[in-house]
Amino acid sequence: MGLRLGHRYGTQYKTMADLFGAVIAEESAGNPLAASIKGARGLMQITQPALDDYNTYNRQKMTMDDMWDSQKNKTVGEWYLADRIPKMLKAYKLPVTTENILWAYNAGIGNVAKGIKPKETVAYIEKVMGRVKEKQK
């Protein structure tokens, strides 16, 4: 049933709990030690730019090594999905939809703004949304 709702952002954004769980399943298959060739780490595959945003906006000093910690990783990833990406979409005057949030999470906000949706991203969105629908049955 998604993330434990007691988690900081899981509680604040209850309706997104299943989305967070689906992103974790797709990004890392639930492996907290997952790493990509591009340097993304942990459950939600946090990248350095996403972590830099988190640290700047939340006055934190987390490092990429902190992204091996599941709770810290989820805190950053959930903030990015539920807060940062929607604000960036609004700044670009783009609709804040689940599809656009996932598109930006997977391909970057710049690609959303330019209308560039790689095939990999289309498949990613379909898989995550399929997982969400399964959890909500």
For 66-94, the pLDDT digits (tens) are 999 999 999 999 999 999 999 999 999 99
Q: What is the pTM of this model?
A: 0.88
46 has pLDDT over 80: yes
Share of the chain above pLDDT 70, in %: 89
Element (H, E) at 124: helix 119-135
Domain boundaries, the chain: 8-135
User: What is the SS3 assignment for the chain?
Assistant: CCCCCCCHHHHHCHHHHHHHHHHHHHHHCCCCCCECCCCCECCCCECHHHHHHHHHHHCCCCCHHHHHCHHHHHHHHHHHHHHHHHHHHHHCCCCCCHHHHHHHHHHCHHHHHHCCCCHHHHHHHHHHHHHHHHHCC
Fold of 8-135: Lysozyme (1.10.530)
The pLDDT value given to residue 134 = 87
